[in-house]
Amino acid sequence: MSERTQHLGHETSEAVHDAPHKVADQTRGNPLAAGLIAFGAGLLASSMIPSTRAEEELVGKAKDKVEPLATELTETAKQIAQDTKEPVATAAEELKDSSQQSMDRVKSEASSETEHLQHEAQGSINDYRNQS
């Protein structure tokens, strides 16, 4: 075995040995994280165990009951999407129109204010020239 392989094997062994302590340190004071880690570990362990015939039968029965519900849910979601398509498009168009009106009003007010300030500046310049 090469030195590199031995080194990697040693590091892996240390990491596996230290993992429970690191997890405990990181989850201390955070029970939600500890629960999620425990759930994940349980899920991983259960996925490695082959299912029994009884479990497979239960899954088959559950699948038969769930499939019609999933189909109905999908159809309902499609219908909701179709029903809301027009109102959403209308609202978007109204928002666009309102935004355009607001932008036009701001442009108009800015232009008007610019004109007003130019007239005031010109008046101030003329007053200054007249005083000189």
Q: What is the pTM of this model?
A: 0.37
Percent of the chain at pLDDT > 90 equals 4
C-alpha 57/C-alpha 63 separation (Å) is: 10
Least confident stretch, 8-22, 23-37, 113-127:
8-22
Residue owning tokens 């005031």: 120
DSSP state of 2: -
Answer whether 24's CB lies under 8 Å from 31's CB: no
C-alpha 106/C-alpha 40 separation (Å) is: 56
